[in-house]
Structure 1
Amino acid sequence: MSTIISSVDFSESSLNAARYAAALAASIEANLILVNVVQFPAAVAEAAVSEQTYEEMVSLAQHDLENVAGELANRVNHSISIAADVLEGTVDYQIEVIAEKYKPFSIVMGIRSGRNFERFLAGSHALFALRHSHYPILIIPEGCLFNGFKNIGLATDLNHVKEEPVESVRRHMSAFNATLHVVHVSKNINKAISEEASEPISLANQLSGFKPKFYYVKNENISEGLREFCQLHNLDLLIIIPKEHGLLDLFSEKHSSRIATHMKIPVLAIPPQLLHQTSDYTIM
Structure 2
Amino acid sequence: MENQLVTILRITKPQVGSFVKRRFESEGIECFFTNEGLKMGGVYNPDEVLLKVKAGKSEKAIKLLLNMHKEYDLDTLSEDASYAQMKKILLPVKMSEGCLELCKFAISVAQKNNAEIKLLYVYEDPTIHDSAKHTVSWEKHVKMELQEAHKKAQLKLVNFSLEIKKIVPNDLLRSVNLHYRMLKGIPEHVVVDAAERYQPDIILMGSKGEYEKANEFQGKTIAKVIEHSNFPVLVVPPKADFEGKDKINVMYATDFYDSDNSSLNKLLAILQAFDKQIYCVHIDLNDDSHHQEKVNELNKLLARDYSVHNIKCVLFESDNVVKGLETFAESNDIDVISFSKMKRSSFYKMFHSSLLERIVLVENIPILIFPV
TM-score (norm 1): 0.81
Shift of residue 198 of structure 1? Answer: 4.1
Residue 99 of structure 1, CA deviation: 1.6
Q: Specify whether residues 17 and 91 from structure 1 end up closer, same or farther in structure 2 by C-alpha distance, changes over 3 A only.
A: same
**2:88 corresponds to:** 3
Structure 1 residue 13: Cα displacement: 4.7
Shift of 1:187: 0.3
The answer to whether the 8 Å contact 2:231/2:370 transfers is yes
Partner of residue 29, structure 1: 114
Question: CA–CA distance in 2 between the matches of 1:204 and 1:145?
Answer: 30
Alignment of 1:254 with 2:346, yes or no, is no
- Report the counterpart of residue 60 of structure 1 in structure 2: 152
Q: Percent identity?
A: 23
Of residues 187, 190, 205, the one that matches 2:285 is 187
Name the aligned partner's letter for residue 26 of structure 1.
Q
Tell me which residue corresponds to 1:112.
208
TM-superposed deviation, 1:40: 3.6
Q: Does 1:51 align with 2:151?
A: no
Q: Residues 202, 210 of structure 1: CA spacing in aligned structure 2 closer, same or farther, 3 A cutoff?
A: same
Q: How many residues align?
A: 268
State the partner residue of 1:170: 268
Instruction: State the AA in 1 paired with 2:229.
Output: S
Aligned position for 1:91: 187
Q: CA offsets per residue over residues 166-198 of structure 1, 9 Å max, x none?
A: 331221232312122221112024242246764
Q: Distance in 2 between matches of 1:23 and 1:76?
A: 11
Deviation at residue 209 of structure 1 after TM alignment? 3.1
Deviation at 1:157, TM superposition (A): 1.0
Aligned-pair distance for 1:125?
Answer: 1.7
- Residues 1:201 and 1:134: Cα distance change in structure 2 (over 3 Å): farther
Is 1:151 matched up with 2:249?
Answer: yes
C-alpha contact (below 8 Å) 2:236/2:367 kept by paired residues: yes
Distance change (3 Å), C-alpha of 1:213 and 1:262? farther
Task: Report SS of the residue matched to 1:180.
Answer: strand
1:82 and 2:178 aligned: yes
Q: Which has the larger radius of gyration?
A: 2
Deviation at 1:102, TM superposition (A): 2.6
Counterpart AA for 2:310: K
CA shift digits 1:197-242 (9 cap, x unpaired): 6455445555443131221101121111111111111121112112
1: CA distance, partners of 2:305 / 2:234? 23
Shift of 1:260: 5.0
Q: Which amino acid aligns with 2:263?
A: P
Distance verdict in 2 for CA 1:156–1:135, change over 3 Å: same
Superposed structure 1 runs of 4+ greater than 6 Å apart: none
**2:168 counterpart of 1:69:** no
Contact 2:295 2:314 (C-alpha < 8 Å) held by counterparts: no
Shift in Å, 1:26:
2.4
Q: Which moved more, 1:215-224 or 1:92-101?
A: 92-101
Deviation, structure 1 residue 243: 1.3
Residue 61 (structure 1) shift = 1.8
Computed over aligned residues only, the root mean square deviation of the Cα atoms, in angstroms, reads 2.9
Go from structure 1 to structure 2 and tell me whether the alpha carbon gap of 1:262 and 1:184 turns closer, same or farther (over 3 Å shift): farther
Greater CA drift, 131-140 or 199-208: 199-208
Residues 66-119 of structure 1: CA deviation (Å, up to 9, x unaligned): 333343345042221211100123322221222223322211111113279xxx
What secondary structure does 2:267 align onto?
helix
Match of 1:218 in 2: 317
Partner Cα distance (1:218, 1:161) in 2: 23
Higher RCO (CA 8 Å, separation ≥ 6 residues): 1
The change in CA–CA distance for 1:70 and 1:39 in structure 2 (over 3 A counts) is same
Is the alpha carbon distance of 1:143 and 1:51 closer, same or farther for their aligned partners in structure 2, counting shifts above 3 Å? farther
User: Quick one: which amino acid aligns to residue 106 of structure 1?
Assistant: I
Is structure 2 residue 136 aligned with structure 1 residue 38? no
1:142-181 CA distances to partner (integer Å, 9 max, x unpaired)? 2323425522221111122467433312212323121222
Q: Which consecutive unaligned segments of at least 5 residues does structure 2 have? A: 1-85, 132-137
